[in-house]
Structure 1
Amino acid sequence: MTPSKRLLSLDAFRGLTVAAMILVNNPGSWARIYPPLKHAEWHGCTPTDLVFPFFLFIVGVAIVYALETKKIDISNHNQLLIKAAKRGAILFGLGLFLALFPKFNFETVRIMGVLQRIGIVYFICAAIFIKTTPRTQFICMTGILILYWILMTLVPVPGFGAPNLEKETNLAAWVDRLVLTENHTWKSAKTWDPEGVLSTLPAVATGLFGMLIGSILKGKEKPAAEKTTWLFSFGIIAWILGMFWGLFFPINKSLWTSSYVLYCGGLASMMLALFYWIIDVQGHNRWCRIFVAYGVNAITVFFLSAIISKVMGMIKVNANGEEVSSRTWLYDTFFTSWLPSDIASLAWALAFVLFFLLLLWPMYKKNLIIKV
């Protein structure tokens, strides 16, 4: 997902997003999460619920920068599709590896997950981009959002009757149990998966939204100020439509509802417009280099953060005669020993994010980018 000509604002936005992903995925204690870093219980949207759709939106924008010039020659299409399939499979495989590590129990492994969804969305969106125009992409996005709305609100749920949006009895949960079975869903629920099968469909629409915004941003016919205005305008319209649709089809991350796609996509478009205007147009880019360091190696740092967190849980140390994980010992020794519980949990998460800067900054300075 590396653009052929790097857009600094996109790298910075991606870096901020992946840093936020690591932050919310690594609290000091899951029992004491800093309140703003919590997901909505079900319906609704917190700042934390914006992180994943922002990343998928960025995936869509990056596809335009990576493939637009390459797809002009139709003879390249098959090769581009093969490369997109390989990249999507690698992302899916990395996610599956994280789910398996360290026990590698294939009988209960969670099949879907964050990287798996990124891989699927990337491949489908890349394939659509290679073979279609922005107009067709808009039709595809709109069609997906309407189709998902119809499926979730009008199709009866086998075994439960009337369509509904409750956690365990909605159509998406039923599909997860049918396709994945309860052995391979999210371990915290077992009966449904927040990155499940059916809800991946509207997640593709989030990527398509990013592609449409990327096409505006990449276009050469409009001056920078006009591009920024278009991004803000489309963002505001989508955000308002999302809130309005949410009155009938509630904004919900776990279900990835159509209203959620528009609501988050609108906010992401406005955020990218702000970054683009400040960083690329006005040239105020010194402040964003830390985020860029995360952004150019986003998948690498996300993968490593998950691995290191698990390894820290595996390594045991002796603390006051009791064997605890190295993670617990570090957290208790340097954070909970002098900070209130919620603040300690936040401080650990921030420290964990900043730890990776020690690795990423030298890589950024040497222009070392690990492509996935």
Structure 2
Amino acid sequence: MNGKNDDIDVKKNIEQEIQLEKIAKIVEDNIHFVDDDMPAYDGYDVPEIEEDVHIKESVYINEGNRKDISPKQKKESNKEKKVESDKEVSSTEQTVINKVEKEPYYLKEVIGGEVLKRRYTTVELIMGIAVVSIICSSGIGVLGELPDFLAFSKWNGISFGDLGLPLFLASVCFMIPTEVELDVKKKKSFKEICIKKVKVGIILFVIGVLINLIGAWNFNSFRIMGILQMIAVVYMVGSLLYVLFRRFNFKLFVIAVFLTAIGLAGLAGYYFASVNFGDTAKSCLAYFVDSKVMPGHIGDFERYGIMSTVSALCGGCLAMAAGSFLCNRRVENRDKSNKILIMGMFFVIIALLMERNCPYNASVMSPSFVMVVLGGYCVVFAALFVVFDLNRSKISHIVSRPFVVMGASPVFVVGINEFLKNTLFKVNVYSVARGCGLRLDEWLVVDVLSAVFGSRSRMIGFLVIYILLIFVLMLYLYSKKIYIRFK
């Protein structure tokens, strides 16, 4: 009996050792730490010239059989192979050039441009829509005459005006994995990438603070947070988080799982923490935190406050998880689109389940609102990606171009709008129609545009003219290939 028990114990020990070896192998395959530079991940979607496998194999077999060749003959043979290889490469390059010259102008930027710097049309299209939404709901003109679907929701609910900033943040975070992989391809170190992301975040945050200071110049009561500040924090922290995971050379699937877990855990924490607070502007968790952290620097309610930024950052983690699928060259583009679609549908289902106890609220960036917007973004991206990136045509090029122009330099457009709102539009002008002083933007609507559009449509006319003026500026910059982006 003792002998049998010993055999059983030995077998168990062997099985445990085998299991430990398997676990160690899995860990070794999924994580690798490098002290000096970022590891060169092999999964980025960069088209490369594929070698002819059959030719390579035949050369290998012939060389293996020719053992009696002298060193001199081998040297001459290698020279001949090098010349033939150069001819093949030059022939391939000429074929690519001829293909580019024959392609329509709206496809040249995809084939003939530098692939590592090409941006997805779908991302810029959605970014352009987000910028238009931000402009419409930014508080310019006569607010009382702004249509409800363009303005912010009064509290709970979703309108077109509520979607601007969340879609903007989703687009920015969606492209963070691609940006980091481009930096890795350029052989930039971990330190260089981190410094670049922190620099962008600090500069953008400072610009937002300075814009808020203009016209107020009261350091005890000016608004610390704002739309540019929220974008800066989400972009900087989200980028550093992705770079940290990338530092360990996790595989894309592992990075996506970690980011999804962080995003869902953060939103769940926000959801449970807000249960003990009310559902009004003065009783919600967001107001409580902002009033404690930034006393004297918020008015009745801070729309871009601390808790809203934390919730937006959690949504950014989920957007980065979805965007990481674009960086895997071992997966076909249509499969990438399908994975993003499935992920978006998963987010939408969670949002629908949460909505009953956690209403959609853009003012506080409620978890359900973040989930439904992000899920909708992924679903829309997957659909538009097929039309505007995979099956590009002249019609899709014409349709997408106006929004792409606005989305090519989105931060610049938002910054210009915030600057005008806090400077030029605050100039006081006497209104003959109302017999009192009005802000310049209000005066333009009430006294100037009323005669052209009438009292009902004058606010819509003001927004259309204002957006067209910005579009003309951006079209000029776009034609000159001047892009003001996160760098």
What TM-score do you get using the length of structure 2 for normalisation? 0.69
**8 A Cα contact 1:58 1:207, kept in partner:** no
Q: 2:234 aligned with 1:112, yes or no?
A: no
Q: What corresponds to 2:163 in structure 1?
A: 50
**8 A Cα contact 1:34 1:342, kept in partner:** no
**8 A Cα contact 2:410 2:485, kept in partner:** no
Q: What corresponds to 2:146 in structure 1?
A: 33
Q: What corresponds to 2:357 in structure 1?
A: 248
Q: 2:396 aligned with 1:287, yes or no?
A: no
Tell me, what secondary structure is at the counterpart of 2:306?
coil
**8 A Cα contact 1:13 1:275, kept in partner:** no
Q: What corresponds to 1:365 in structure 2?
A: 479
1:131 positional shift: 1.2
Distance change in 2, residues 1:306/1:198 (3 Å): closer
Distance change in 2, residues 1:314/1:246 (3 Å): closer
Q: 2:256 aligned with 1:134, yes or no?
A: yes
**8 A Cα contact 2:136 2:151, kept in partner:** no
Distance change in 2, residues 1:178/1:350 (3 Å): same
**8 A Cα contact 1:134 1:215, kept in partner:** yes
1:341 positional shift: 3.7
1:236 positional shift: 2.1
Tell me, what secondary structure is at the counterpart of 2:137?
helix
Q: 2:457 aligned with 1:335, yes or no?
A: no
Q: 2:103 aligned with 1:22, yes or no?
A: no
Distance change in 2, residues 1:365/1:40 (3 Å): same
Q: Structure 1 CA distance, aligned partners of 2:241 and 2:439? A: 46
Q: What corresponds to 1:239 in structure 2?
A: 348
Pick the aligned partner of 1:204 from 313, 337, 346. Answer: 313
Q: What corresponds to 2:465 in structure 1?
A: 351
Q: CA offsets, 1:253-311, max 9 Å, x none?
A: 12211111111101111222232111111112222112111112111111112222333
Q: What corresponds to 2:118 in structure 1?
A: 5
Moved more, 339-348 or 124-133: 339-348
Q: What corresponds to 1:143 in structure 2?
A: 265
Code of the aligned partner of 1:141: G
Q: 2:339 aligned with 1:230, yes or no?
A: yes
1:319 positional shift: 5.8
Distance change in 2, residues 1:135/1:322 (3 Å): closer
Q: What corresponds to 1:101 in structure 2?
A: 214
Pick the aligned partner of 2:379 from 251, 266, 270. Answer: 270
**8 A Cα contact 1:85 1:123, kept in partner:** yes
Q: 2:343 aligned with 1:218, yes or no?
A: no
Distance change in 2, residues 1:340/1:121 (3 Å): same
Moved more, 37-46 or 337-346: 337-346
Distance change in 2, residues 1:280/1:354 (3 Å): same
Q: CA offsets, 1:29-72, max 9 Å, x none?
A: 11111121122221222222122111111111121121124358
Tell me, what secondary structure is at the counterpart of 1:36?
coil
Moved more, 86-95 or 225-234: 225-234
**8 A Cα contact 2:133 2:160, kept in partner:** no
Code of the aligned partner of 2:273: L
Tell me, what secondary structure is at the counterpart of 1:253?
coil
1:371 positional shift: 3.5
Distance change in 2, residues 1:21/1:342 (3 Å): farther
Q: What corresponds to 1:297 in structure 2?
A: 409
1:136 positional shift: 1.3
Q: What corresponds to 1:59 in structure 2?
A: 172
Distance change in 2, residues 1:70/1:166 (3 Å): same
1:315 positional shift: 4.0
Q: Structure 2 CA distance, aligned partners of 1:251 and 1:294? A: 28
1:227 positional shift: 2.2
Tell me, what secondary structure is at the counterpart of 1:285?
helix
Q: Structure 2 CA distance, aligned partners of 1:263 and 1:347? A: 31
What is the root-mean-square deviation in Å for CA atoms of aligned residues? 2.3
1:368 positional shift: 0.5
Q: Structure 2 CA distance, aligned partners of 1:259 and 1:31? A: 28
**8 A Cα contact 2:137 2:152, kept in partner:** no
Q: CA offsets, 1:120-173, max 9 Å, x none?
A: 1011110111012222111111111111112212xxxxxxxx433332122221
**8 A Cα contact 1:26 1:349, kept in partner:** no
Moved more, 239-248 or 4-13: 4-13
1:9 positional shift: 1.6
Q: Structure 2 CA distance, aligned partners of 1:57 and 1:200? A: 13
The alignment covers a number of residue pairs equal to 357
Q: CA offsets, 1:199-240, max 9 Å, x none?
A: 321110111122112111332222222222222222222112
Percent identity for Structure 1 against Structure 2: 22
Q: What corresponds to 2:238 in structure 1?
A: 125
Code of the aligned partner of 1:34: P
Q: Structure 1 CA distance, aligned partners of 2:364 and 2:409? A: 29
What TM-score do you get using the length of structure 1 for normalisation? 0.89
1:342 positional shift: 4.5
Larger radius of gyration: 2
1:18 positional shift: 0.9
Distance change in 2, residues 1:344/1:131 (3 Å): same
**8 A Cα contact 1:71 1:130, kept in partner:** no
**8 A Cα contact 1:9 1:275, kept in partner:** yes
